[in-house]
A and B are shown apart, each in its own frame.
Chain A
Amino acid sequence: QSVLTQPPSVSGAPGQRVTISCTGTSSNIGAGYDVQWYQQLPGTAPKLLIYGNRNRPSGVPDRFSGSKSATSASLAITGLQAEDEADYYCQSYDSSLSGYVFGAGTKVTVL
């Protein structure tokens, strides 16, 4: 069982907005540690999508946005496109475990 909790799947029609939640505890997100988001297409290495809760690396479309509040974080995808169909993972640091932790991943399906 992952330390960070994500929904197994979300879906939406092209053009719609979807959100993925990432719920942690007082030893990770709630302790103030940043949340990162990664996108993983089938058969490829994860790609950094959001860092420091809400920052996008160069080249990541502004359709992707991140937010954080208390012990949870969210990734929003607006204007959903077929190419967004992938697995998405949140990641943070956990002070109780003294290590980095990931969510179990959320599969985004474009209907």
Chain B
Amino acid sequence: QVHLQQWGAGLLKPAETLTLTCAVNGDSLSSYYWNWIRQPPGKGLEWIGDINRDGSTNYNPSLKSRVTISVDTSKTQFSLKLSSVTAADTAVYYCARSEGLRFFDWLYLWGQGSLVTVSS
């Protein structure tokens, strides 16, 4: 059974770079897009971006200048880097797998979530 396990630093200072990794256990990364979504405390969900096993990416325009999503097929992992973080980037970050036809797809499989706090 496929499941996603994510990890990364939970406390950052302003201007640092957020790095999170999501391991895909039980899947070879094939045929899907792999996503990052975040949720500020008490607020709604925001899609950050996605990537496929070939490294093709798609980013939220509002974050595009600071986001890099990469994939390591040998480790069946994908990662998120968000640079120059501020307090506004404090959120629970989720990794998730898309299923279905591109642009009509849905997020069925989710990681457990990682709380990242930005504070001086």
State A85–B113 Cα separation when bound (angstroms). 21
A45-B113, A99-B61 known; A89 and B45 CB under 8 Å?
A: yes
Instruction: Annotate A35-71 by CB proximity to B: 1 below 8 A, 0 otherwise.
Output: 0101000000111100110000100000000000000
A45-B110, A45-B111, A97-B61 known; A103 and B44 CB under 8 Å?
A: yes
Q: Which of B9-17, B68-76, B78-86, B98-106 contacts A (4 or more CB under 8 A)?
A: B98-106
For chain B, the count of residues having a C-beta within 8 Å of the partner chain is: 23
Interface centre among B46, B47, B100, B103 (most CB of A within 10 A): B103
Across the interface, which residues of A come within 8 angstroms of B61, CB to CB? 97-99
8 residue pairs A–B, Cβ–Cβ below 8 Å: A34-B104, A46-B107, A48-B107, A51-B108, A89-B44, A91-B47, A93-B104, A100-B35
